[in-house]
Chains A and B, each alone.
Chain A
């Protein structure tokens, strides 16, 4: 459905949707500001990185000069405004360990995480919707029970452990998966980076070997990540469809003997789209912040591992930057969901 058509339906009334979106974007900005402030205060409250940076043997003089050069001798509010000002200018600071701009480091690591999250999202969307609908249709059968049991398992198992078990089975025992050593097997690399997404770049460069190698590498981590979030998606789809299947309009459709697949995929699914897209948006944000565990187990060079390192070393700027990215991920996913709801659900428009 194109926007022009949707606006026509509403009788040229563009004010409300635009206002609604502006409100949403405004809320996202407010959220970002809040997150930056909280992250700033929390990192400062957890101690200064100075003593870790200089090591145990440093004397008072070097500690003081470092505190000064990092601006930590200034009042907290001044540090805060300085930081906020630089963030507004797109400068996320520099890492005290690598001496490189955080934006540069993030731009190298974010595509790895996004690629993994998107691969997991594809799995979650397809499997989640299929299993959710089937379980709702075959409600109270053995199949339904199996799906519910699978959901219980997926929701309760820690990702870290699940990843290790999958590595143990597929890499160690049966040698079906490659060594969990990041995005591509050692010794192989692409001649250049275009989007940063290995799979996409491999297709663009026509490099079959790299594509297959990268696909093999991403398989297990993507499945691990997906398994952790599948239960929520399945359950939402299941409950929504179950609800819809019991509504009068579906019964009416049944009475008109409209084919079953048509009832399900056209009439029922359409009404379930908004709740489903909401849970998917939520899942996206969740995955973005939960890749940490999967990245650690599969040595995936994404922002999760970056965040862990930064946390251990109390590297202020990278910690806040990762928080900002995760918030943005959440916020943008919700925003997309709101726009999507605006398009498919006439009730939202009014």
Chain B
């Protein structure tokens, strides 16, 4: 009996405290668990988002307003965050960085030092993780401690997108003293420990984590820019999207992730709810393997580009919430030029091109898609029906996600369908990372020496005054790709996020991660 009374008293006390201090809590219904707290090994949306919020990245983008009136990242302004100031050498081959002083890691209280920044370079190189990708993409060849607050990076050649890469969720100081404590002989970089533990100095820290149930983040009261409005952010795992929608409608959660286009349309105009909706740099592709017949024939690829029902895709699959493709560079990307785009839904032209290519009666082919994605399935079925009209019999091979990913990596799919979000807004990055001969993401096995040359040229342009020349090269790149059609560009869907209408302060980030720091509740 005593126990019961004590519990009641405790409950009452806790309730009282909660009310007195009026804890500000943001609750988000998320589809699945956070996979890992190791930003180096994270390539999942939920993990990236949490890692973005619990780590203090080197830099941030400045903000500007989109035509729709949302605050969004501005690639032309880079602001300091964990790095307070920097100086690029005149030849662009090195950069000296000064860290922000007085910062502490959230869980241990250890001060953030230059060693913590450099530890991650070593870790990245040895574990060949995401950090390693950024090091190689930025062409960094050396890192060196200069003083207790400064260090220097050297580049093989000046990097046009060093800053874009180093505002990534993984580019943040991590408590190296604590990490080393958890290193073991067969796990010298503490990857197992880091996957479950937060060692960041960001705006929030992980207060508790119940796998499959929820993750509770608490605000860092000592954050250098001041604490966030919300004291706590609770990520509630709710696997069914319809349940997430009902929870949002009822006000039991503030934000609901990953609602389907139909669900978003159902709640868009309800009182108490708003849906953030703006064009993004996400693109859907139908990849064609440029080494496999018949797609090694450019005319065949062009023919298919005329058989894509562009309007039906926008209206039926995306309910009007997508932009049509006008170039390999998304419409909201830097150096986008829509003036060269010839493709439209024209079956006669498609048939004519097939005839010229030597396939007057069409051909059979196989499209691989990952299972469990309704949008991709709808797109595949729509395209299948359309291609059939020009004699192209495309069978759809639905594969488990793991198998599909393996096929992409091995470039063994004849055709594939998926989306890619270009979070680095730079044509050089896309050219070098996706269309360049032999790179890992070139799942089309596409190769054009002319394009490779342009990509290499663009990689050399890093000064602000190089913009005019870059624009010229970017135009040439778009011209070549539009003519070559290594893949079919299908649509550029909007970024959409459903929330209660009293949540304000939303900032649109290029990687579609939600930044909790600027959010607040309108009283």
Interface residues of A (CB under 8 A from B): 46-52, 54-59, 61-63, 65, 97-100, 105, 108-109, 160, 164, 167-168, 171-172, 175, 179-182, 186, 191, 205-209, 295-299, 301, 305-306, 308-309, 312-314
Which of A59, A299, A306 is the one whose CB lies under 8 Å from B440? A59
By the criterion CB–CB under 8 Å, are A172 and B250 in contact?
A: yes
B195 beta carbon closer than 8 Å to chain A: yes
Which of A50, A205, A209 is the one whose CB lies under 8 Å from B11? A209
Stretch at the interface among B72-80, B235-243, B305-313, B473-481: B235-243
15 further contact pairs, Cβ within 8 A, besides A55-B130, A172-B249: A47-B403, A56-B441, A57-B440, A97-B36, A160-B240, A182-B237, A205-B3, A206-B4, A207-B7, A209-B8, A209-B11, A297-B242, A299-B236, A312-B372, A314-B400
Which of A46, A98, A206, A299 is the one whose CB lies under 8 Å from B239? A299
Give how many B residues have a beta carbon under 8 Å from the other chain's beta carbons. 51
Given contacts A171-B250, A205-B3, contact A46 B43 (CB under 8 A): no
Given contacts A56-B441, A206-B3, contact A167 B243 (CB under 8 A): yes
Which of B33, B238, B400, B408 is the one whose CB lies under 8 Å from A46? B400
B128 beta carbon closer than 8 Å to chain A: yes
Given contacts A97-B35, A296-B239, contact A48 B211 (CB under 8 A): no
B406 beta carbon closer than 8 Å to chain A: yes
Which of B7, B43, B129, B246 is the one whose CB lies under 8 Å from A171? B246
| Distance A209 CA – B276 CA, assembled complex (angstroms) | 38
Among residues 308 to 325 in chain B, which have CB atoms less than 8 Å away from a CB atom of chain A?
none
A295 contacts which chain B residues (CB < 8 A)? 239
Instruction: With both chains docked as a complex, state the minimum distance between the C-beta of A13 and any C-beta of chain B, in angstroms.
Output: 50
B402 beta carbon closer than 8 Å to chain A: yes
**Could you pull out 10 A-B pairs where Cβ atoms are within 8 angstroms?**
A46-B400, A56-B409, A57-B440, A58-B133, A98-B36, A172-B250, A180-B243, A205-B3, A314-B400, A314-B402
Closest to A66 in B: B128
Which of B1, B4, B409 is the one whose CB lies under 8 Å from A63? B409
A46 contacts which chain B residues (CB < 8 A)? 400, 402-403
- Please list the 3 inter-chain residue pairs (A to B) with the smallest Cβ-Cβ separation, ordered nearest first: A47-B403, A55-B43, A314-B402
Instruction: With both chains docked as a complex, state the minimum distance between the C-beta of A178 and any C-beta of chain B, in angstroms.
Output: 9
B1 contacts which chain A residues (CB < 8 A)? 206
Given contacts A100-B196, A181-B247, A314-B400, contact A59 B128 (CB under 8 A): yes
By the criterion CB–CB under 8 Å, are B402 and A51 in contact?
A: yes
By the criterion CB–CB under 8 Å, are B401 and A312 in contact?
A: yes
| Distance A71 CA – B453 CA, assembled complex (angstroms) | 41
By the criterion CB–CB under 8 Å, are B242 and A299 in contact?
A: no
A65 contacts which chain B residues (CB < 8 A)? 128
By the criterion CB–CB under 8 Å, are A167 and B237 in contact?
A: no
Interface residues of B (CB under 8 A from A): 1, 3-4, 7-8, 11, 27, 32-33, 35-36, 43, 128-130, 133, 191-192, 195-196, 210-214, 234, 236-240, 242-243, 246-247, 249-250, 252, 372, 399-406, 408-409, 440-441
Instruction: With both chains docked as a complex, state the minimum distance between the C-beta of B133 and any C-beta of chain A, in angstroms.
Output: 5
By the criterion CB–CB under 8 Å, are B240 and A47 in contact?
A: no
Closest to B193 in A: A99
Instruction: With both chains docked as a complex, state the minimum distance between the C-beta of A198 and any C-beta of chain B, in angstroms.
Output: 12
Which of A51, A98, A186, A314 is the one whose CB lies under 8 Å from B409? A51
| Distance A47 CA – B409 CA, assembled complex (angstroms) | 12
By the criterion CB–CB under 8 Å, are A208 and B196 in contact?
A: no
Which of A48, A55, A97, A172 is the one whose CB lies under 8 Å from B402? A48
Instruction: With both chains docked as a complex, state the minimum distance between the C-beta of B447 and any C-beta of chain A, in angstroms.
Output: 18
| Distance A308 CA – B239 CA, assembled complex (angstroms) | 9
Which of A100, A179, A296 is the one whose CB lies under 8 Å from B247? A179
| Distance A185 CA – B249 CA, assembled complex (angstroms) | 18
A171 contacts which chain B residues (CB < 8 A)? 246, 250
| Distance A47 CA – B405 CA, assembled complex (angstroms) | 9
B3 contacts which chain A residues (CB < 8 A)? 205-206
By the criterion CB–CB under 8 Å, are A299 and B249 in contact?
A: no
By the criterion CB–CB under 8 Å, are A299 and B243 in contact?
A: yes
Closest to B136 in A: A59
Instruction: With both chains docked as a complex, state the minimum distance between the C-beta of B343 and any C-beta of chain A, in angstroms.
Output: 27
| Distance A167 CA – B29 CA, assembled complex (angstroms) | 16
Instruction: With both chains docked as a complex, state the minimum distance between the C-beta of B115 and any C-beta of chain A, in angstroms.
Output: 25
By the criterion CB–CB under 8 Å, are B128 and A99 in contact?
A: no
Which of A179, A181, A314 is the one whose CB lies under 8 Å from B401? A314
By the criterion CB–CB under 8 Å, are B403 and A58 in contact?
A: no
Closest to A207 in B: B7
B243 contacts which chain A residues (CB < 8 A)? 164, 167, 180, 297-299
| Distance A49 CA – B403 CA, assembled complex (angstroms) | 8
Given contacts A48-B402, A99-B196, A207-B4, contact A108 B27 (CB under 8 A): no
B441 contacts which chain A residues (CB < 8 A)? 56-57
Which of A51, A160, A168, A205 is the one whose CB lies under 8 Å from B405? A51
Which of A47, A51, A57, A312 is the one whose CB lies under 8 Å from B130? A57
B401 contacts which chain A residues (CB < 8 A)? 52, 312-314
| Distance A206 CA – B6 CA, assembled complex (angstroms) | 11
A58 contacts which chain B residues (CB < 8 A)? 128, 133, 440
Which of B11, B32, B242, B402 is the one whose CB lies under 8 Å from A47? B402
By the criterion CB–CB under 8 Å, are A301 and B4 in contact?
A: no
B7 contacts which chain A residues (CB < 8 A)? 191, 205-207, 209
| Distance A172 CA – B1 CA, assembled complex (angstroms) | 37
By the criterion CB–CB under 8 Å, are B35 and A186 in contact?
A: no
Which of B130, B212, B246, B372 is the one whose CB lies under 8 Å from A109? B212
Query: Which of B32, B236, B246: most chain A CB closer than 10 A?
Result: B246
By the criterion CB–CB under 8 Å, are A164 and B196 in contact?
A: no
| Distance A162 CA – B11 CA, assembled complex (angstroms) | 35
Closest to A303 in B: B212
| Distance A164 CA – B266 CA, assembled complex (angstroms) | 15
By the criterion CB–CB under 8 Å, are B27 and A48 in contact?
A: no
